[in-house]
Amino acid sequence: MFSIEHEFDATVVTLVDEGSSPLQEDIVINAFEDCITLEQWDPRTNAINKLTLSLSQARDLEAALDLPEGVYQLRKAPDGD
């Protein structure tokens, strides 16, 4: 299950783990104009773990989810194509 909220400076997506145990803590994804952050509560450390992706890294991750094993570099298509 997930939710989507549009706030003043970000779109916030929350991913909720469902199904059989053990379940993971919710993941909150904040999409800002210049970066994307992922946050998840860690009960072992009693703290929130936070990752920040550049928009380029997020595009690479999106592409990587649909590609086979290997090393890739995304490039812009030439104008007119």
Mean pLDDT is lowest, of 15-19, 28-32, 40-44, 70-74, for: 70-74
* pLDDT confidence band for 13 (50 / 70 / 90): very high
Please report, as a single letter, which amino acid is at residue 75.
R
Q: What is the pTM of this model?
A: 0.81
CA distances from residue 80 to 27, 76, 77 in whole angstroms, order as listed: 39, 11, 8
pLDDT in tens, 20-38: 888 999 999 999 999 999 9
Distances (CA, A) of 65 to 3, 7, 37, 43, 60: 21, 27, 18, 28, 9
Ordered by start, the domain boundaries in the chain are 2-64
State the amino acid at position 5 in one-letter form: E
**Residue 70: half-sphere exposure toward Cβ, Cα within 13 Å:** 8
Q: What is the DSSP letter of 75?
A: -
